[in-house]
Amino acid sequence: MIGNQLTAFQLNVAVGTAAVQLRDACQNVLNLQATVTAQGLTGLEAAPISLDAADAAAVLAAVNYLNNVALAYFGLATIPTAFNFNSAVSGTYGGQ
């Protein structure tokens, strides 16, 4: 075989690390969504954030999409149809 072969230990570490990172990312999204929705569109448009109306709406929409994934991860919501969340929030990637 070509390449490095994983041992059982390495595989367990990789799976455990990915699971913890996903859990933590989903919790961060829930926290972010709580902050952004508390601001609301008016708060996002006001100082010190000062987004224009279109950008404020785009941020709120992106955070809500991310929140849907986080809620589904924690078993607090279902996603009844196929939806490409990656495409929906790709504008927030900043070229990454």
Number of domains, the chain: 1
Locate 45 and state its tokens: 């448009």
Is the pLDDT score of 2 beyond 90? Answer: no
Residue 20 located in a structural domain: no
Is 10 domain-assigned?
A: no
> Residue 33: inside a domain, yes or no?
yes
Residue 75 lies in a domain: yes
- Whether the predicted pLDDT of 1 surpasses 80: no
12-37 per-position pLDDT tens digit: 999 999 999 999 999 999 999 999 99
Q: Report yes or no on 36 lying in a domain.
A: yes
Task: Please report whether residue 9 resides in a domain.
Answer: no
Which residues span the domain enclosing 66? 26-90
Statement: residue 80 has pLDDT above 90 = no
Token pair for 16: 């455990």
Q: So what's the pLDDT on residue 18?
A: 95
pTM, 2 dp: 0.85
On whether residue 70 sits in a domain, the answer given is yes
Q: What is the pLDDT of residues 22-79, one digit of tens each?
A: 999 999 999 999 999 999 999 999 999 999 999 999 999 999 999 999 999 999 999 8
Kindly report the CA angle at 43 between 37 and 45, in degrees rounded to 5?
A: 120
In the block, which residue shows the tokens 């992106």? 62
